[in-house]
A and B are shown apart, each in its own frame.
Chain A
Amino acid sequence: MNTPFRLIALSAASVLVLAACGKQEAASGGDVVRIGMASPLTGPQSHIGQDIKNGALLGVEDLNAAGFEIGGKKVKFELVAEDDEANPSKATTVAQKLVDSKVAGVVGHFNSGASIPASKVYADAGIPQISPGSTNPRYTQQGYATTFRVVANDDQQGPAVARYAIDALKTKRVAVIDDSTSYGQGLANAFEATVKAAGVEVVSHEHTTDKDTDFAAILTNIKAKNPELVFFGGIDTQAGPMAKQMKALGITAKLMGGDGIQTPKLLELAGGAADGTIASIPGLPKDKMPGGQAFLDKFKKRFGVGVELFAPMGYDAVHVLAEAMKRAGSSEPAKYLPELKKTNYSGVIGPIAFDDKGDLKNGPITINVVKGGKWDVLETVIPGAAAPAAPAAK
């Protein structure tokens, strides 16, 4: 036999062997309900992915500890966590893997760029997917019955926070910065469109990336244009250093952002410079929620680290799935999916109900401000009244 053939056969065999090493036993039927979780656990966004995983894990542990019952039978939930590496191609592979391991529902993914391609895989298998962090409006507009999210999309949050800047702060000149990610760009553009429509002058729209920590150049530009408010579409890990650098450059304008910066991490990274920073977050103020502060404490106790960003969404998503199963009396996706659509659950992040597309029904959005090194509730806006001014998705 000639060498190439032998080698090809050998390599093919090794593929199979490798695969066999990792083969998982089939889902054990009956009392175990598997919940899939997918988020970036490696790569630059892994701190957020790990946070979601921890949130979902805590959700599953709480359900198990409480002795959750479906159809009168006690069940044990099991979390199957996968790493999608924030990579669209890996996301579909991971999604397929979750489908293969017979999960009843999925909490994931984080990046819109991962959630969207993966949603087709879940839809084909009829498995409900609740994204804890994808804000691209398109995610729920693909016509799949199985896509849901427990986070406000860009077209809900952007206009709401913009209305606050226009109506309450009476801002006349704003500068906009985005972090060139799907979340940051979407949010910043939705914000910009709304304030422009209201006649507010957008003095500049600058861009950075989600890997940068040096914003001196763009902030110097913004300083020269002298805005009253700087809106940042991005997350806390950039907003923290940004707040510091704004202070160092002597920019007096307030920093404003979405739920991506309304976190304890921002306070830690920005230190004293965080004071005056304004951020919106979907849902009612945490301290008005029965489980808000308790959740933060419990999380810290369980994992030894604080909540980064989307852990509450991951936690709630698990509960939303479980509650729907309970109402349907079954963990079979086809049976509990109709119940999932009718969700009316009061979670850590606030009241959760889905509209016909699977988006969060326009719930309240809370505006927070940093005062004395702490997030303080400023106002609760109901975007249902304010949102229509928003132009269609761009």
Chain B
Amino acid sequence: METFIQQLVNGIVLGAVYALVALGYTMVYGILGLINFAHGEVVMIGALVALAVIKPLAAAGVPLGLLLPLGLLVAVCVCMALGAAIERIAYRPLRNAPRLAPLITAIGVSIVLQYSAVLIWGRTYHAYPELLPVTPMEFGGARISVAQIVIVVLAGAVMAALLWLVHRTRLGRAMRATAENPAVARLMGVNVDRVITATFVIGSALGAVAGVLVSVNYSVAHYQMGFMLGLKAFTAAVLGGIGNLAGAMVGGLLLGLIEAFGAGYIGDLTGGVFGSNYRDVFAFLVLVGVLIFRPSGLLGERVAERA
């Protein structure tokens, strides 16, 4: 039972991170119908920028409590600018191009971002300072650290804020209108280009937050950290129904749980024939299973077929 609760905690923490990154994918997809493959790299840049801010500040004797907010602030600002730039340079010119063209530019952009990071920060794994107390607390036999609680709480808060933004504000209404039909939205006086830029900016800000949180939790940052994280988050977004905000959260959380329980229990369930090395196989099989019964993901709406 202790193990079960601990795996539940592990899954929720991992899932919160996935959900945060998945939101970036799903927002862009919802509005433009394109996979922003470079989003994982934005997460990575966020983590490394925050580190670059935190290190000298820590050395200068800035109190521990201020480091994380300052690092987050700078990382979020840089990533917002980066998101806007990526949209402007790599995606806007291709808005009417064949569907796969922006996919290739996205791959190109992510390669450029990765190796820009190499030039700036080098190839090494960077140790992240301990910004949050790591002494774990016990809950019903399971251990959870402050960093993990902060991740879950912050992720939840950010998502709540995002939902409020999309459903309660003027910008949100414009976003929803653009997602529904850009041409009509434009006729209604929505500045579609600005809405799309805003979407990228917000998604990138979430990515930056995710990047910093991940690095704080695992205490390491690296120029390749965005790739796998991005991939997993994208999977989560699809699982939940891509283009759907709640779907990204549900999908992320679910994927985190599937991975934790998969790695935890496959070995016991199959009598040791398959072990935790098949964790991702298990995750993908669940995904295929879900998609067979719900081809548009868990919460995705059935969209009309578009050529």
List residues of A whose CB falls within 8 A of some B CB. Answer: 42-44, 46-47, 50, 180, 204-208, 211-214, 216-218, 220-221, 223-224, 237, 240-241, 244-245, 247-250, 265, 268-269, 271, 305, 308
| B262: chain A residues within 8 A (beta carbon) | 217
Partner of A223, one of B3, B134, B145, B275: B3
* Chain A contact surface mostly: helix
Q: Give a binary string over B202-244; 1 marks a CB under 8 Å from any A CB, 0 the rest.
A: 0000000000001000111010110110000000000000000
| A241: chain B residues within 8 A (beta carbon) | 218-220
| A221: chain B residues within 8 A (beta carbon) | 3, 263-264, 267, 276
Q: Are A269's CB and B134's CB within 8 A?
A: no
Does B191 sit within 8 A of A, measured CB to CB?
no
Per the bound structure, the CA–CA distance linking A211 and B10 in Å amounts to 18
Per the bound structure, the CA–CA distance linking A20 and B45 in Å amounts to 37
Which of these binds chain A: B51-59, B93-101, B117-125, B246-254? B117-125
Per the bound structure, the CA–CA distance linking A237 and B214 in Å amounts to 15
Does B136 sit within 8 A of A, measured CB to CB?
yes
| B130: chain A residues within 8 A (beta carbon) | 271
Does B127 sit within 8 A of A, measured CB to CB?
yes
Most chain B CB within 10 A, of A50, A206, A214, is at A214
Does B296 sit within 8 A of A, measured CB to CB?
no
| B227: chain A residues within 8 A (beta carbon) | 211
Besides A206-B267, A213-B214, A217-B259, 9 other A-B contacts (C-beta < 8 A)? A207-B276, A213-B225, A220-B3, A220-B6, A221-B264, A240-B127, A244-B134, A305-B124, A308-B124
| B264: chain A residues within 8 A (beta carbon) | 217-218, 220-221
Q: Are A46's CB and B276's CB within 8 A?
A: no
Q: Are A248's CB and B136's CB within 8 A?
A: yes
Does B177 sit within 8 A of A, measured CB to CB?
no
List residues of B whose CB falls within 8 A of some A CB. Answer: 2-3, 6-7, 10-11, 13-14, 115, 118, 122-125, 127, 130, 134, 136, 143, 145, 214, 218-220, 222, 224-225, 227-228, 259-264, 267, 275-277, 279
Q: Are B123's CB and A207's CB within 8 A?
A: no
Partner of A213, one of B7, B136, B218, B259: B218
16 examples of A-B residue contacts, CB within 8 angstroms: A46-B118, A46-B123, A47-B123, A47-B124, A47-B222, A50-B123, A204-B267, A206-B263, A213-B214, A214-B14, A216-B13, A218-B276, A220-B10, A220-B264, A248-B136, A305-B124
Per the bound structure, the CA–CA distance linking A247 and B135 in Å amounts to 9
| A305: chain B residues within 8 A (beta carbon) | 122, 124
| B279: chain A residues within 8 A (beta carbon) | 207, 217
Partner of B136, one of A42, A47, A217, A250: A250
Per the bound structure, the CA–CA distance linking A268 and B222 in Å amounts to 14
Top 7 A-B pairs ranked by shortest CB distance?
A207-B277, A217-B263, A216-B10, A47-B123, A213-B218, A217-B260, A224-B3
